Structure 1
Amino acid sequence: MYFKYFTIISGFVIFIFSSCTNPTREQATSQSDGSGTPVIEESYLRKGGEITGTVFKNMSGKLKNAMEVGGVSGAIEYCNLAASPLVDSLSRAHSVSIKRTSSKLRNPENAPSTLEMAVIKEYLNPDPGGELPSPKVVIDQHQIHYYAPIFLMDNCLKCHGGVSQDIADADYTVIKRLYPEDQAVGFKTGELRGIWSLTFPRDK
Structure 2
Amino acid sequence: MLAGMASAGKTLFWLLALALGATACRPDQIEHIKDTKRIGAETANWEVKRIMPKELLKSARWAGDSLTATADTLLRQTMARELAAGGVAQAMDYCRPETYRAVDSLAGVFKATARRVSERPRNAAQQMTLSADAMRTDTTRTVTRESQEVFFYQRPIVLNNALCLRCHGEVGKDIAPADYALIKKQFPQDQATGYRLGQPMGAWQLSLRRDGVAEFWTMKTRKKWKEHKMPKLF
Q: TM-score, normalised by structure 1?
A: 0.64
Distance in 2 (alpha carbons) for counterparts of 1:57 and 1:187: 20
Do 2:80 and 2:163's aligned partners in 1 also have CA atoms closer than 8 Å?
no
Query: Quick one: structure 1 residues 89 and 174, their matched pair in 2 at CA, closer, same or farther if it must change by over 3 Å?
Result: farther
Q: Please, which runs of 5 or more residues in structure 1 have no aligned partner?
A: 1-36
Cα deviation for residue 173 of structure 1 reads 1.1
Relative to structure 1, the CA distance from residue 137 to residue 52 in structure 2 (aligned partners, 3 Å threshold; closer, same or farther) is same
Q: Distance in 1 between matches of 2:151 and 2:126?
A: 19
The residue aligned with 1:150 is 157
Unaligned runs of 5+ in 2: 1-51, 213-234
1:180 equivalent to 2:195? Answer no
CA distance in 1, matches of 2:166, 2:60: 33
Q: Does 1:135 align with 2:141?
A: yes
More helix by share: 2
Number of corresponding residues: 157
Q: Which amino acid aligns with 1:121?
A: A
**Counterpart Cα distance in 2 of 1:203 and 1:78:** 31
Which of these residues, 42, 53, 60, is aligned with residue 38 of structure 1? 53
Distance in 2, Cα, partners of 1:185 & 1:138: 31
Aligned ranges 1:78-97 → 2 under 5 Å: 78-79=94-95, 84=99, 86=101, 90-97=106-113
Q: CA deviation at 1:108?
A: 1.7
What is the rounded CA distance, in whole Å, between the counterparts of 1:132 and 1:52 in structure 2? 12
TM-score for both structures, normalised by structure 2: 0.57
Which of structures 1 and 2 has the bigger CA Rg?
Answer: 2
User: Structure 1 stretch 135-144 or stretch 194-203: which is displaced more?
Assistant: 135-144
1:103 to 119, 124, 127: 119
Task: Report the aligned-residue RMSD.
Answer: 2.8
Matched with 1:73 is 89
Corresponding residue number in structure 2 for 1:121: 132
- In the alignment, residue 132 of structure 2 is paired with which amino acid? K
